[in-house]
Amino acid sequence: MKVRGKVLTMLAVVSLVGLSGCGFVADGPFGWGYTNTKTPVTMGQAKTGSKKGKACITSFFGFTSIGDASIDAAAKNAGIKEIYSVDSENFSIFGTYTRQCTAVSGE
């Protein structure tokens, strides 16, 4: 009985570790159950940033991931020619739904 309990415990631990990486965002700190963070990436050449653009990648259950979160796509979405700042936004719920966005501001 003791051996069976140890085997089941090991299987549970291995399963949790294996599933924990399914759909988590990679940048910055994240919470296993819930993540909603914004982190700075870089500053650009523009002096101000009145226009704001965003581009995102979305993942479902770590099985499929779609989108274009490039700086270029985010700038084009807002018609930005000169970038003031670039930030990363990360959102995840239990790794089942994750979204990573690049947010830019500029003129």
**CA 74 to CA 49: how far, in whole Å?**
13
- Give the pLDDT confidence score for residue 46 in this predicted structure: 82
Q: Is residue 41 part of a domain?
A: yes
Q: What is the chain's mean pLDDT, rounded?
A: 83
Q: Is residue 98 part of a domain?
A: yes
Q: Which domain holds residue 90?
A: 23-106
Mean pLDDT (whole number) for 3-24: 60
Cα 22 to chain centroid distance, Å, stands at 13
- Give the pLDDT confidence score for residue 95 in this predicted structure: 80
**How many structural domains comprise the chain?**
1
Mean pLDDT (whole number) for 41-63: 90
Q: Is residue 5 part of a domain?
A: no
Q: Is residue 10 part of a domain?
A: no
Residue 21 vs residue 5, higher pLDDT: 5
Contact criterion met (CB below 8 Å) for 24 and 98:
yes
Q: Is residue 6 part of a domain?
A: no
Residue 49 vs residue 3, higher pLDDT: 49
Q: Is residue 30 part of a domain?
A: yes
**Residue type present at position 87:** D
Q: Is residue 40 part of a domain?
A: yes
pLDDT reading at 86 higher than 60: yes
Q: Is residue 60 part of a domain?
A: yes
- Give the pLDDT confidence score for residue 18 in this predicted structure: 53
- Give the pLDDT confidence score for residue 97 in this predicted structure: 92
- Give the pLDDT confidence score for residue 70 in this predicted structure: 96
